[in-house]
């Protein structure tokens, strides 16, 4: 199993819909989880972090974590065309507190 796995997409949703992005990880010891957004030709930018099981909300974004299932997701409510980007899941690597392992990302397209 790869350390961090994401569906590469593309995921296409209509404007105003909920976009659901998923990520699984292999290291049961991982304690923190991050979602980065990367626009085409740009660098990744941190949009959400989550450390505890359950949901964490920030505006239109909600991160969900289930450590038992080794699963983290990102929900984007009221999706906008400006949300069209690649979303990268990142997890500290194997006991390290500094090495982030990134998934390959899911390309999201929000259609007007």
Q: Which spans of this chain sit near another protein (rule: CB under 8 A)?
A: 32, 34, 36, 42-46, 49, 51, 88, 92, 96-105
Please give the Cα distance from 82 to 109 (Å, whole number).
9
Report, in Å, the least distance between residue 80 CB and another protein: 23
| Nearer Cβ to another protein (18/51) | 51
Burial of 16 (0-12, 13-18, 19+ CB in 10 A): exposed
| Nearer Cβ to another protein (96/111) | 96
- 3 state DSSP class of 24: strand
Report, in Å, the least distance between residue 27 CB and another protein: 13
Report, in Å, the least distance between residue 44 CB and another protein: 5
Report, in Å, the least distance between residue 112 CB and another protein: 27
| Nearer Cβ to another protein (17/100) | 100
Please give the Cα distance from 29 to 84 (Å, whole number).
32
| Nearer Cβ to another protein (17/107) | 107
- Residue 89: C-alpha distances to residues 14, 25, 68, 112 (Å): 23, 9, 18, 25
- 3 state DSSP class of 6: strand
């Amino acid at each position: 199993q790869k350390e961090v796995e994401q569906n590469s997409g593309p995921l296409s949703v209509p404007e105003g819909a909920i976009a659901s992005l998923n990520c699984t990880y292999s290291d049961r010891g991982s304690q923190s989880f991050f979602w980065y957004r990367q626009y085409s030709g740009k660098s990744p930018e941190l949009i959400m972090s989550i450390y505890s099981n359950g949901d964490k909300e920030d505006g239109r974004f909600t991160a969900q974590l289930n450590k038992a299932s080794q699963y983290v997701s990102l929900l984007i409510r009221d999706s906008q065309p400006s949300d069209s980007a690649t979303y990268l899941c990142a997890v500290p690597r194997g006991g390290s507190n500094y090495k982030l392992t990134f998934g390959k990302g899911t390309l999201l397209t929000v259609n007007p």
